[in-house]
């Protein structure tokens, strides 16, 4: 979803749409799991698929600011700095067009050890990334299922990652490994993630909710094709941490008869003393309507960072 790539803080691990590796073909429509065939002979029909309900994404509470504005410093990267990141994610898709249906469930689980190798003007420009765990599990069918059709390890060993390339030793890495690591780190290593930097610099009072300006929305990827409500809030603070939230409720009209309903909520928690990001959680519910087809998807991701 290009609209919300930066707005939803999902640059680290965007929700997948289809597996990048070959998987077994979908089962025949007349014998799908979870559906009952009726009729006889060549006239066979399926019972309607009953899709699971997605979690409800709650709205940000009304603005009720208290106390003084809170400022979060920008962290200064240092060569040799170490951190541990865990990523857990889930993507589910329900597709329905006439009698054709499709179900996808993807789960992802990463544990990465990260060392800063190079710094320019206080920003990291090269990292050493060691994968202790990097798994993706995919279920595909024409009705809800938890039977995996693909279960694979996405990363193995230690990589050197910059904004423009991924290497293992002196060998340049391509394919899925490069795609995963670039998706996680390229924006960060190219000068910082825009929405993360925006939240650090946004001085809000606890409980305060403000709408993004048109200029801010365009800066983070939204345009005139997606009118709606875009708001940022300071939702929690204590002596050690501060948490900001971003909310989107919009309808995108990219052209033709297609419309995309978008409901999203993301939070990011910073260390108040250093400005370091320590926790991030994102949820996105997207429904595409086009020529009688409905593509309904939900993604969720949590990133935890320890230093």
Q: Are 307 and 300 in contact (CB under 8 A)?
A: no
- What are the extents of the domains in the chain? 2-19+57-306
**pLDDT at res. 253:** 87
Q: What angle do CA 74, 75, 77 make, to 5 degrees?
A: 140
The pLDDT value recorded for residue 44 is 58
Q: What is the DSSP string of the chain?
A: -GGGTTTTT-TTSPPPSS-SS--PPPPPGGG-TT--EEEETTEEEEPPP-PPPPPP-PPPPPP--EEEEE--PPP---TT-EEEEEEEEEEEEEEEETTEEEEEEEEEEEEEEEEEEEEETTEEEEEEEEEEEEEEEEEEESS-----SEEEE---EEEEEESS-EEETTEEP-HHHHHHHHHHHHHHHTT--HHHHHHHH--EEET-EEEPPHHHHHHTT--TTS-EEEEEEEEEE-SSEEEEEEEEEEEEEEETTEEEEEEEEEEEEEETTT--EEEEEEEEEEEEEETTEEEEEEEEEEEEEE-
**Tokens 């996680």 — which residue?**
184
- Confidence (pLDDT) at 3: 40
SS (H, E, C) 195-233: HHHHHHHCCEEECCEEECCHHHHHHCCCCCCCCEEEEEE
Going residue by residue through the chain (307 aa), what tens digit of pLDDT does each one get? 334 444 543 333 334 434 444 444 454 444 444 444 444 444 556 678 999 999 999 888 899 999 999 989 999 899 999 999 999 999 999 999 988 999 999 999 999 999 999 999 889 999 999 999 999 999 999 999 999 999 999 999 999 999 999 999 889 999 999 999 999 999 999 988 888 889 998 999 999 999 999 888 887 777 777 889 999 999 999 999 999 999 999 999 888 889 999 999 999 999 999 999 999 999 999 999 998 899 999 999 999 999 9
The pTM of the full predicted model, rounded to 2 decimals, is 0.85
Residue 47 has a pLDDT of 79
Identify the pLDDT of residue 271. Answer: 96
- Residue 70, pLDDT score: 95
Q: What are the φ/ψ torsions at residue 200 (nearest 5 degrees)?
A: -60, -40
Please state, in angstroms and rounded to a whole number, the distance separating the CA atoms of residues 293 and 295. Answer: 7
- Scan for tokens 């979690």, then name that residue: 55
Residue with tokens 């650090």: 200
* Domain 2-19+57-306 of CATH type 2.30.230: yes
According to the model, what pLDDT value does residue 36 have? Answer: 40
Distances, alpha carbon 303 to alpha carbons 113, 128, 193, in Å: 13, 18, 15
- In b/e form, how buried is each residue of 162-179, taking b as 16+ CB within 10 angstroms? beeebeeeeeebeeebbe
Tokens read off for 197: 């930097």
Q: Which residues of 267-297 are buried (b: 16+ CB within 10 A; e: fewer)?
A: bbbbbbeebbbbbbbbbbbbbbeeeeeebbb
pLDDT at 45: 63
Quote the radius of gyration of the chain (alpha carbons, Å). 21
Q: How far apart are CA 130 and CA 138, in angstroms?
A: 24
> In degrees rounded to 5, what are phi and psi of residue 282?
-130, 140
């Amino acid at each position: 979803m290009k609209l919300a790539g930066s707005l939803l803080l999902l640059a680290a691990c965007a929700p997948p749409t289809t597996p990048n590796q070959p998987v077994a073909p979908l089962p025949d429509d007349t014998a799908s799991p979870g559906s009952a065939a009726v009729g006889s002979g060549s006239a066979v029909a399926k019972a309607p698929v009953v899709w699971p309900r997605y979690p409800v994404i709650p709205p940000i509470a009304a603005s009720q600011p208290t106390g003084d504005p809170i400022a979060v410093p920008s962290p200064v990267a240092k060569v040799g700095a170490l951190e541990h990141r865990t990523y857990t994610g889930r993507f589910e898709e329900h597709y329905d067009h006439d009698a054709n249906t499709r179900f996808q469930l993807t789960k992802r689980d990463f544990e990465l050890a990260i060392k800063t190798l190079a710094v320019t003007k206080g920003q990291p420009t090269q990292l050493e990334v060691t994968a202790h765990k990097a798994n993706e599990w995919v279920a595909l069918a024409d009705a809800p299922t938890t039977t995996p059709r693909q279960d694979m390890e996405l990363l193995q060993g230690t990589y050197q990652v910059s904004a423009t390339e991924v290497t293992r030793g002196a060998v340049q890495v391509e394919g899925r490994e490069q795609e995963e690591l670039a998706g996680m780190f390229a924006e960060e290593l190219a000068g910082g993630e825009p929405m993360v930097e925006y939240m650090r610099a946004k001085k809000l009072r606890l409980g305060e909710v403000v709408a993004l300006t048109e200029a801010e929305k365009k800066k983070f990827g939204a345009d005139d094709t997606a009118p709606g409500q875009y708001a940022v809030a300071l939702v929690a603070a204590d002596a050690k941490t501060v948490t900001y939230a971003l909310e989107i409720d919009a309808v995108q009209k990219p052209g033709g008869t297609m419309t995309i309903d978008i409901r999203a909520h993301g939070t990011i928690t910073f260390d108040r003393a250093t400005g370091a990001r320590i926790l991030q959680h994102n949820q996105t519910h997207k429904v595409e309507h086009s020529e009688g087809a409905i593509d309904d998807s939900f993604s969720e991701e949590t990133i935890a960072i320890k230093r």
